[in-house]
Amino acid sequence: MKPEPFAVVPAEYARALNVVGERITVLASSAATQGYEVFLQQGHEGSGPPPHCHDWDESFYVIKGVVEIGYGDTAMTAGAGTFVHVPAGTIHYFRFGTGGGEMISVTSHGGNASRLFARIDEAVPPGPPDLQTLLGVAQECGVTISH
């Protein structure tokens, strides 16, 4: 099936998903694009995932605030206008800095991020996460959390 052109305006955004304290809005799912996915990620200071990896590429474009992004042996402070690409299989993490921030993320074809985010929103209530539940959802969606 050929993907159809579409536009998403703020008034029509899907409900933001609560992903362990981060608000993630699916702007384009793989079902809509027949390939990649696009997300608006908004986080309070200190929020973000632990080091992890998955079998899809992921790119981040910081649009507001400062985000610490780490991959491999590199950790950087990314301000607005910074673009970071993380190839599939690379251990990476990020943390929103002082005052929180926003970024756009894009996954490669075959990414499972929208399923992962929806499952975390469904299975892990707000507040300190139940780590066993979080690890189970991550594993179910093809994500490996590094300890």
For residue 95, the domain's CATH number is 2.60.120.10
Q: Does a structural domain hold residue 101?
A: yes
Q: Does a structural domain hold residue 4?
A: no
DSSP one-letter string for 14-57 = PPPEEETTEEEEEEE-HHHHTS-EEEEEEE-TT--PPSEEESS-
pLDDT of residue 147: 64
Total-model pTM: 0.92
Q: Does a structural domain hold residue 84?
A: yes
In the chain, the number of structural domains is: 1
Instruction: Return d(Cα 101, Cα 121) in angstroms, integer.
Output: 20
Q: Does a structural domain hold residue 3?
A: no
The pLDDT tens digits for 88-128 are: 999 999 999 999 999 999 999 887 899 999 999 999 888 77
Domain residues for the domain of 33 are 10-145
Q: Does a structural domain hold residue 67?
A: yes
Q: Does a structural domain hold residue 37?
A: yes
Q: Does a structural domain hold residue 115?
A: yes
Pairing mode of beta strands 37-43, 74-79: unpaired
For residue 86, give the nearest of 100, 67, 101 by alpha carbon. 67
pLDDT of residue 3: 81
Positions in the chain whose pLDDT score sits under 50: none
Q: Does a structural domain hold residue 5?
A: no
Average pLDDT of the chain, as a whole number: 93
